[in-house]
């Protein structure tokens, strides 16, 4: 499936909560959504409270449909208490590469 829509989100966890944030994100329902083609969670090496998420979706409409669901809205509500600041988003579309975890 080709990625048509994507972004990178930079999230700042409350001090000492980045591990909880990473665990939460790696259990996200978007990982099992067939329209979510890329979902990579990364940690900052310079700031232990920063977590990055790179997402690639089959389309912007598919992304919007997913986040309009009750399941996704509940996910966002449970995510908020882990965050110390508003997430920052960068518009980007993953085009290739390699991932092995």
**What's the order of all strands across the beta sheet hosting 36-43?**
36-43, 50-57, 5-12, 88-91
Instruction: Break the chain into its structural domains and give their ranges.
Output: 5-91
Q: Angle at Cα 54 formed by Cα 73 and Cα 61, nearest 5°?
A: 50
Per-residue pLDDT 10s for the chain (101 aa) are 889 999 999 999 999 999 999 999 999 877 789 999 999 999 999 999 999 999 999 999 999 999 999 989 999 999 999 999 999 999 999 898 887 78
Q: Which two tokens stand for residue 11?
A: 């999230």
- Would you identify the CATH topology of the domain 5-91? Alpha-Beta Plaits (3.30.70)
Q: Note the pTM of the prediction, 2 decimals.
A: 0.90
């Amino acid at each position: 499936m080709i990625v048509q829509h994507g972004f990178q989100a930079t999230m700042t966890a409350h001090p000492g909560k980045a591990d909880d944030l990473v665990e939460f994100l790696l259990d996200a329902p978007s990982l099992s959504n067939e329209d979510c083609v890329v979902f990579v969670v990364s940690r900052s090496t310079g700031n232990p409270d920063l977590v990055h998420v790179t997402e690639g979706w089959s389309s912007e409409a598919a992304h919007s449909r997913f986040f309009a669901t009750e399941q996704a809205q509940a996910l966002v509500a449970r995510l908020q208490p882990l965050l110390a600041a508003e997430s920052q988003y960068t518009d980007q579309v993953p085009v290739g590469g390699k991932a092995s975890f």
